[in-house]
Chains A and B, each alone.
Chain A
Amino acid sequence: MEADSFRLLNGVKAMMDSGDEYSVSGSVTNRCYIACINGELSSAQMGQLYDEIVRMAEKRELRGVIMDLNGLAVLDSAAFCVLRKISGALALMGLKSAWMGIKPAIASSLVDFGADVDDLCICQNIEDGVRLMSFQK
C-alpha cells in the first residue's frame, strides 16, 4: 500500500511540476466568454482566476461570462466564495454570468456543506448559457 502511495505521490508531483494542477482556458462565442476552469484551486490561484476573468470581461465587449466548472476536482467553500465574488463583480460591471458543468458529486458536496446556491444562474451547456445571456434581465 505504501509503494502504491509513493507511486501516486510521484505522479502528483510530476503533474504539479508540469503546472497542470490548475488552468483556465477561454473562448468567446456570441459575445459570451466561456472560461474553462480545471484542476484544484488554491487561494492564490483563486485570486488569479478572479483577476483573469474580470480583466477579460473589461477588455472585450462581452454580454456575459459562462464559467465551465466541469474540470474542477473539488469545490470547497473558499473556491465557491471566489466564484460567487466573480459573478457579483460581473453583475456590477453590467455583465451576466452563469455556472456550467457542475459534476453530480460536487453538486452533492455543495448541498451538504450548505452553500447558498439560490440566486446563482446555472446552465447545462453552452447553448443554454448563451440563451440565458440573451434573455436574462
Chain B
Amino acid sequence: MAKYCKNNRVLEASAKLLESSTFELNEENDQATAVFMTREIAKNAGFNLADEVMVATAVSELATNILRYASCGRIRVIVIQNGDGRTGIEIGAEDKGKGIRDLKLAMQDNYSTAESLGLGLPSVERIMDEFEIESEIGQGTRIRARRWL
C-alpha cells in the first residue's frame, strides 16, 4: 500500500473523538448533504465562517473524487480534541475504487486523469493542517485530513 503524508507527518493516533458523523456517497445529492452537514458540524465545533467553508470545501473535493473515480464510498466527519485540549475536525474519506497508481504524481498541482483542473487533492492538502492518503491498486483509497481551531 502506497502512503503519502503532508510534510511527512503521520496523523497522531491520540486525538480524542468528540462527535462523529458518517455520510455514504452513492449519488450526487449525497455530496450536497455531506457538504451542508460538514458546515453545520464545523460551526457547532466553533470554527469561524471562513474555516467552516474551507473544511466544507475539502469535503466537497473528496466527495467529487469519490463519485467521479470510485462511484461510491463514504466520508466521515469527526470532531476531535488533541492532548492540549485543542479542538479540530478530522475528515476521513474512503472508497473501494481502482486506487491511485502514483500518489506523488496525484499530489502534484494540475495532475488529473479526468476533465478537471487537477487541483482536487493538492487543494485539500493545502486547506487542511494535516493530511495523509493511502492507496492500493484494485483495493481503493483512504484519506484522513485534519484542521485545528
Residues of A within 8 A of B40 (CB): 8
**Total A-B pairs, Cβ < 8 A:** 110
Q: Can you list, as one digit per residue, whether each of B7-51 has a CB less than 8 Å from chain A (1) or not (0)?
A: 000000000000101000000110111011101100010000110
Q: Which of A15, A105, A114 contacts B52 (CB 8 A)?
A: A105
Q: Is the interface of A mostly helix, strand, loop or mixed?
A: helix
Q: Is the interface of B mostly helix, strand, loop or mixed?
A: helix
Residues of B within 8 A of A44 (CB): 28
> Does chain B have a CB within 8 A of A39?
yes
5 more contacts with CB within 8 A, not counting A43-B28, A113-B122, are A5-B21, A77-B116, A108-B50, A109-B57, A114-B122
B57 to A74, Cβ gap below 8 A?
A: yes
Please give the distance in Å from A30's CB to the nearest CB on chain B: 32
Give B residues with C-beta under 8 Å from A: 19, 21, 28-29, 31-33, 35-37, 39-40, 44, 49-50, 52-54, 56-57, 60-61, 64, 67-68, 109, 116-117, 119-120, 122-124, 126-127
Residues of A within 8 A of B44 (CB): 4
Residues of B within 8 A of A104 (CB): 49-50
Cα A104 to Cα B36 with chains together (Å): 18
B28 to A73, Cβ gap below 8 A?
A: no
Q: Which of A42, A109, A114, A115 contacts B32 (CB 8 A)?
A: A42
